[in-house]
């Protein structure tokens, strides 16, 4: 199953929060599991020691087909469509 990944150019065009993009580069991403409809990733901040789970849900409409369990997601992404650093990290590091 192939998640809907944004290209680097799209990440720049969509005017996401600059701080979120910068922070995304410092996070580590590990794939947790994949099902027929979902792909889940653990996104860790090696400096803060925090971890969030990002899940791609193919049955949902963009941009909310990407979800995260962080506070930014529930307060900002759902209202503005602007992804948190954790989701952006999965997009930026998908080839690793």
Binder of Zn ion out of 39, 84, 89, 90 (CB under 5 A): 84
The footprint of Zn ion on this chain (CB under 5 A) covers a number of residues equal to 6
Is residue 92 within 8 Å of 12, Cβ to Cβ? no
Restricting to residues 25-64, name those near Zn ion by CB under 5 A: 52
Selected from 24, 39, 55, 68, the binder of Zn ion by CB under 5 A is 68
Q: Quick one: three-class SS letters along the chain?
A: CCCCCCCHHHHHHCCCCHHHHHHHCCCEEEEEEECCCEEEEEEEECCCCEEEEEEEECCCCCCCCEEECCHHHHHHHHHHCCCCHHHHHHHHCCCC
Minimum gap (Å) between residue 84 Cβ and Zn ion: 3
Q: Please select the residue that binds Zn ion; options are 11, 70, 90, 92, rule is CB under 5 A.
A: 70
Contact between 24 and Zn ion by CB under 5 A: the answer reads no
| Binding footprint of Zn ion on the chain (CB under 5 A) | 52, 68, 70, 73, 84, 86
């Amino acid at each position: 199953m192939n998640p809907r990944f944004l290209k680097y150019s799209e990440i720049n065009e969509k005017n996401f929060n600059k701080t979120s993009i910068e922070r995304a580069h410092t996070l580590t991403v590990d794939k947790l599991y994949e099902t027929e409809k979902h792909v889940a990733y653990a996104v860790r901040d090696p400096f803060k020691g925090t971890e969030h789970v990002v899940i791609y849900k193919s049955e949902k409409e963009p941009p909310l087909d990407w979800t995260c369990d962080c506070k930014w997601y529930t307060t900002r992404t759902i209202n503005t469509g602007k992804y948190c650093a954790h989701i952006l990290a999965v997009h930026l590091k998908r080839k690793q």
